[in-house]
Amino acid sequence: MLKTRVIPVLLYQQGRLVKSIRFKEHRNLGNPIQTVRIYNARNVDELVILDITKTPAGKEPEYKMIKEMARECFMPLAVGGGVRSLSIARKLFLSGADKICLNSAAIENSGLIGKISRMFGSQSVIVSIDAKKRNNHRYEVITRCGTLPTGLDSVEWAKEAERRGAGEIFLTSIDCEGAMQGFDLELIRNISTAVTIPVIAHGGAGTPLDCVEAIGAGASAIAAASIFHYTHATPQVVKQELKAAGYPTRNKL
Amino acid sequence: MKPRVAIVDYEMGNVFSLKNALEYCGALALVTRKPDELRRATHLVLPGDGAFRTGMENLKRFGLIPILEEEVLKKKRPFLGICIGMQLLAQEGTEDGIWEGLGWVKGKIVKLKGHSLRLPHVGWDDITYKENCYLFSGIPQQADFYFIHSFCFVCKERQDVIASCRYGQNFAAAIEKQNIFGTQFHPEKSQTYGLKLLKNFISC
């Protein structure tokens, strides 16, 4: 049976790992390579690394750093941040990314999802959606690390991303991110009923039970950072809780 | 002497991860499409992600098919196809039309019948393998491996399937035909058991 994935998220900014609250208040968490090594030793299901360095246009991701992290990683690695073109995606795959996360550029460059998925397969393209709650149960898509409102409805955009060739949706609630008060279950429900590709829920995990609720709301996997950095809950503890709730998870080796 | 593994470079797949994992397992691994390097290798690996059609087009474009056929079919060099690299061994692929495959293993590639299940089939899933198959020695039954695919290999000859997985339907998780092995999952991304499988492969 397919196991429910629990995915630690690493936010990378200028050579260090950070953690934010609602996309702000970045705190330093130290050395990225060391952290990847620990997660690999713990046999986590998958890792997502997002480079949130605000880079001037034209600057490319730090491929060398990605390579160093990928070398420590014998589980799937998704990399996002600054993936603006097919050639950047290609270089990331060559640097050890197994999947790439597209966010702002997927909207700003309408052909990009299709181009990358035709070349590398749709399974390697994750479309990352940062959503903010508005009135009438609507969620607006915000790009550029939570700074640029697009006017797009997140449900409509998720459907469109699937149609263009996305293999998974990485769904972040901006309102819940880093707050550790639980996921936005309505958002998860809305998006996972709208698409048939897997949805990874991100933003809000404070306790293992929060993660159980996110899966109950329709997510295929949960992704989190603060809970693993700031509490005693490890990915394994979250998986035990999921298992107790009847969701299959991968056994500890 | 260290096994010398050539990862076939046809511009498909996560070759960095694969090279990294093979080196971790003790092999000398190189990513190449140079005929002499392919011929000198003790083991060949065909990686891959993505579309069947692109995979075949690239193999043709780089003139790799005659060399691979000579090394694998004639000289019986141990060969491992991973994901699309396994699917290309089939006689045909059926994504966006009908495409001819290498035809080394009889059968065709069809889309998983998702029913209400989400596609791609992505994540860790357990497999059941036939007893006494070399590739899985030292690996427990029902071990989880990392899958990421929407299509699967329907083999004509049942005995070619050495491991199966279930996602809405049973499908081939691994195949074996003499010196030819294939895995639908990604051993290079399947941690302990995946690395064990790669070790088994490079020691054959």
pLDDT digits (tens, 9 = 90+) for B102-145: 999 999 999 999 778 999 999 999 999 999 899 999 999 999 99
Of A120, A220, A250, the CB nearest to B144: A250
Of A70, A197, A220, the CB nearest to B17: A70
Which percentage of chain A shows pLDDT scores above 70?
97
E strands present in chain A: 5-13, 16-21, 24-30, 47-51, 77-80, 99-102, 125-133, 139-143, 148-153, 168-173, 199-202, 221-224
CA A14 – CA B120 distance, rounded (Å): 33
CB A176 within 8 A of CB A204: yes
Quick check: A2 and B192 CB within 8 A?
A: no
Q: CB A41: neighbour CB atoms within 10 A?
A: 9
Of B16, B122, B192, the CB nearest to A198: B122
Residue of A nearest to B195 (CA): A74
Rounded to 5 degrees, what angle do the CA atoms B134, B140, B144 make? 105
| Contacts (Cβ under 8 Å, ≥6 apart) of B195 | A74, B21, B24, B25, B187, B188
CA A144 – CA A108 distance, rounded (Å): 10
Q: Please give, one letter per residue, the 3-state secondary structure of chain B.
A: CCCEEEEECCCCCCHHHHHHHHHHCCCEEEEECCHHHHHHCCEEEECCCCCHHHHHHHHHHCCHHHHHHHHHHHCCCCEEEECHHHHCCCCEECCCCCEECCCCCCEEEEECCCCCCCCCEEEEEECEECCCCHHHCCCCCCCEEEEEECEEEEECCHHHEEEEEECCCEEEEEEEECCEEEECCCHHHCHHHHHHHHHHHHCC
Tens digits of residue pLDDT in B171-192: 999 999 999 999 999 999 999 9
* Integer-rounded Cα radius of gyration of chain B: 15
| Contacts (Cβ under 8 Å, ≥6 apart) of B13 | B47, B48, B49, B50, B82, B83, B84, B85
* pLDDT for the residue numbered A19: 86
pLDDT exceeds 80 at position A115? yes
Tens digits of residue pLDDT in A187-216: 999 999 999 999 999 999 999 999 999 999
| Contacts (Cβ under 8 Å, ≥6 apart) of A94 | A63, B15, B16
CB A33 within 8 A of CB A27: no
| Contacts (Cβ under 8 Å, ≥6 apart) of A188 | A171, A199, A201, A214, A217, A218, A219
pLDDT exceeds 90 at position A119? no
* pLDDT for the residue numbered B200: 98
CA B64, chain centre distance (Å): 17
Range A149-160 average pLDDT? 98
B188 as an active site residue: the answer is: yes
Mean pLDDT, rounded, of chain B: 96
Domain that holds residue B153: 4-202
CA B55 – CA B61 distance, rounded (Å): 10
Quick check: B123 and A3 CB within 8 A?
A: yes
What number of residues does chain A have?
Answer: 253
- The residue ranking higher by pLDDT, B115 or B78, is B78
CA A129 – CA A158 distance, rounded (Å): 8
pLDDT band at A37 (very low <50, low <70, confident <90, very high): very high
Tens digits of residue pLDDT in A58-78: 688 999 999 999 999 999 999
Quick check: B15 and A94 CB within 8 A?
A: yes
pLDDT band at A56 (very low <50, low <70, confident <90, very high): low
* pLDDT for the residue numbered A156: 98
CB B14 within 8 A of CB B50: no
Distance from CA of A233 to the nearest CA of B (A): 21
Catalytic-labelled residue, pool B25, B71, B83, B155: B83
* pLDDT for the residue numbered A136: 84
C-alpha distance from residue A28 to each of A11, A17, A31, A83, B108 (Å): 10, 6, 9, 24, 51
User: What CATH number is associated with residue B151?
Assistant: 3.40.50.880
* pLDDT for the residue numbered B165: 98
Secondary structure letter of residue A9 according to DSSP: E
CA A89 – CA A95 distance, rounded (Å): 10
Residue A99's closest CA among A118, A116, A74? A116
* pLDDT for the residue numbered A87: 93
* pLDDT for the residue numbered A55: 65
- The residue ranking higher by pLDDT, A21 or B33, is B33
Range B23-31 average pLDDT? 97
Range A143-166 average pLDDT? 96
Distance from CA of B40 to the nearest CA of A (A): 24
pLDDT exceeds 90 at position A247? yes
Provide the domain count of chain B.
Answer: 1
Residue of A nearest to B25 (CA): A74
Which percentage of chain A shows pLDDT scores above 90?
82
CB A221 within 8 A of CB A47: no
Chain A residues near residue B54 by CB distance under 8 angstroms: 118-119
Mean pLDDT, rounded, of chain A: 94
CA B51 – CA A119 distance, rounded (Å): 8
CA A157 – CA A171 distance, rounded (Å): 11
B115 as an active site residue: the answer is: no
Partnered with residue A59 across adjacent β-strands are none
* pLDDT for the residue numbered A118: 87
Of A113-122, A176-185, B132-141, the poorest mean pLDDT is in A113-122
Quick check: B51 and A67 CB within 8 A?
A: no
Distance from CA of B65 to the nearest CA of A (A): 20
β-pairing verdict for A221-224 and B99-100: unpaired
* pLDDT for the residue numbered A253: 61
pLDDT band at A24 (very low <50, low <70, confident <90, very high): confident
Tens digits of residue pLDDT in B35-60: 999 999 999 999 988 889 999 999 99
Domains along chain A?
5-244 (3.20.20.70)
CA B47, chain centre distance (Å): 7
pLDDT exceeds 90 at position A110? no
pLDDT exceeds 80 at position A120? yes
pLDDT band at A20 (very low <50, low <70, confident <90, very high): confident
* pLDDT for the residue numbered B116: 81
Inform me whether the C-beta atom of residue B124 falls under 8 Å from chain A C-beta atoms: yes
| End-to-end alpha carbon distance in chain B | 13
Q: What is the ipTM of this complex?
A: 0.94
pLDDT band at A155 (very low <50, low <70, confident <90, very high): very high
